[in-house]
Structure 1
């Protein structure tokens, strides 16, 4: 029989079956001795069937909760990724001011602590809050404690994005990915699994034998699906195959593999379109909403970049998303980079919005 036990083996069903085994010569009505004796046992059995449903759910990866999914992942050696802290670059004035390691700053709701000096006026700071909350690209840093002589401190960019820990669904996806592409000894699946587990990496494309036998190229995207910093690229290179000893197996790459790590690049896209606005709206008022809708679409393309054979910007998608805005009545004549056709992004590039021009 197919279905959940608790749906079939209810209290009434179980009690009816138990009473059916009692001779009809005995009073089996509700309130009778035999009824009152069997009813508590039937209730306990019904509860047992409900708990059996839970056991069945937790047994299989497709329905297991996070606690038991972690145990199934351990069986396959799939690691559970925890939260990581963002590493940012900060610029201070005056440049000759020396900050001590551990000096704390605040931007918005996030605290950062100085980890090391990079160069005069430039410091590497780490978010005290793990996860994506520390990935603030710009903003003024306010010192938590007094810093004599400090004139200003600004976030210049994210060097290594912070990442949220695994959820039930992300862990389940990685479990299935470990089955779909069995990783072994430096094959493509092995590189993907290894690189994706590194702090700050959101995806990777693997190009084996890209420059002759024994060579491998890895193109990575940051965990916030933007162009990775040079520091992140260097960190991945060091982990996988240090440049000073390429091919010697001193990193995670197998002996004999000379690995080159690169990052995705932006491909600017200009959009022209003809918009008809709802009464009371003008382009100046709607610009922010329209640009945000396009950037959200581009962000989705970037998030899917690692698993896509090709990245195509589709005019239909852009028009659909802009038309969904409450301020837009109609849209027509949309062109990308001056052409009224879809644009396929260059390999190892992700789209970025250069500008939107609205034709009146």
Structure 2
């Protein structure tokens, strides 16, 4: 019997199970055992308590093992493995501050606060002022809510010189708190390989500890002995910004102390950090829509479905090649895009789509020089 079966057995021991078991042991068959009878009313409360105890035992069994533990129980199991659930992070943005003539002002201070416009404002705090008088701000609330906001912000801290403030760039998108499923998968995979001495697993562990990094690929000995290339994406699984690339580089192998072991990288490792090369994929297909659905609405749903497929591709972008057990491999299949199209309500038929004008699947390039990241481009739907 495995833990799942044991828990299922306990779950089956409900009120009716215990009540019937007790009534079956009443010695005299002539005693009235119907609901409302003396014997029924005497054993029913005990049956309810026993059923609750069985449920508690089932939960104990489930929370004992990483495979089935949830919430804080899973957090405790993570602590036993020397790790913890990834906390939600805060969005980092870059903003400009202008006077009434459109010139940058120089009196915005670290700690000043701003807010986005809209019904539910996002509050930001200035963390750094750059040499060009732009500022680096961090959203006050952790989570992904601020990842998509670019535009005007209003001062919360009074500033008479300020006429216009605007977020111009998302430097490092945030992530939400790690889910049970993701943490469980990470814990169950943790013993596959040991992170040690600058091996691939060690570099992946380094990247996992940098909250702004969503995923990464590792290319060892890419430019000779002792060289390592790290290709990183942000928490939106999009190419890392130049600022994020610089930050990761300085954490792992500081620019001014390359190969000296002042970062996380082992001594004599020369680490290069880059963002992947975006591969924009334009898609065209002929779609037949039934007469009961609006064509524009259905086409919008198709584009959303295809974008979801591309998100799934980016989520597995850093997966090791299953065939070789090393390196990376990913293919954009026209058949899977067609499947996404056909699952949209209102579509009755569709042609196999073309990718960038060709009738071929696209195998992404992953080598020491180039690492491509699939980005959905234009979607043209005829019919």
- Class of the TM-score when normalised by the shorter of the 2 chains: 0.7 to 0.9
Cα separation, partners in 2 of 1:220 and 1:35, compared to 1, 3 Å: same
Equivalent in 97, 103, 107 of residue 95 of structure 1 = 103
Q: How many residue pairs are counted as aligned between the two chains?
A: 355
- Greater Cα offset, 69-78 or 301-310: 301-310
Distance 1:106 1:36 in 2: 63
Deviation at 1:259, TM superposition (A): 1.7
What is aligned with 1:150? 162
Partners of 1:209 and 1:215 within 8 A in 2: yes
Deviation at 1:175, TM superposition (A): 0.6
TM-score (norm 2): 0.80
- Greater Cα offset, 259-268 or 311-320: 311-320
What is aligned with 1:305? 317
Cα separation, partners in 2 of 1:122 and 1:339, compared to 1, 3 Å: same
Distance 2:52 2:80 in 1: 30
Distance 2:284 2:38 in 1: 84
Secondary structure (helix, strand or coil) at the match of 1:90 reads strand
Partners of 1:228 and 1:263 within 8 A in 2: yes
Equivalent in 322, 332, 341 of residue 341 of structure 2 = 322
Partners of 2:96 and 2:104 within 8 A in 1: no
Secondary structure (helix, strand or coil) at the match of 2:225 reads coil
Partners of 2:279 and 2:375 within 8 A in 1: yes
- Greater Cα offset, 322-331 or 101-110: 322-331
Give unpaired runs (5+ residues) of structure 1. none
Over aligned residue pairs, what C-alpha RMSD do you find? 3.2
**Mapping of 1:164-175 within 5 angstroms?**
164-175=176-187
Say whether residues 1:131 and 2:147 are aligned partners.
Answer: no
**Mapping of 1:260-339 within 5 angstroms?**
260-277=272-289, 288-307=300-319, 309-326=328-345, 330-332=349-351, 334-339=353-358
Distance 2:76 2:231 in 1: 32
Equivalent in 55, 60, 72 of residue 55 of structure 1 = 60
Deviation at 1:82, TM superposition (A): 1.0
Give unpaired runs (5+ residues) of structure 2. 321-327
Deviation at 1:105, TM superposition (A): 1.8
Cα separation, partners in 2 of 1:153 and 1:64, compared to 1, 3 Å: same
Secondary structure (helix, strand or coil) at the match of 2:86 reads coil
- Greater Cα offset, 233-242 or 349-358: 349-358
Secondary structure (helix, strand or coil) at the match of 2:55 reads helix
Q: Deviations over 1:128-149 (max 9, x none)?
A: 1111112125222122344323
Say whether residues 1:206 and 2:212 are aligned partners.
Answer: no
What is aligned with 2:10? 5
TM-score (norm 1): 0.85
Partners of 2:309 and 2:337 within 8 A in 1: yes
Deviation at 1:311, TM superposition (A): 2.5
**Mapping of 1:44-83 within 5 angstroms?**
44-83=49-88
Distance 1:50 1:354 in 2: 51
What is aligned with 1:352? 375
Partners of 2:19 and 2:43 within 8 A in 1: no
What is aligned with 2:253? 241
Distance 2:74 2:43 in 1: 38
Cα separation, partners in 2 of 1:319 and 1:119, compared to 1, 3 Å: farther
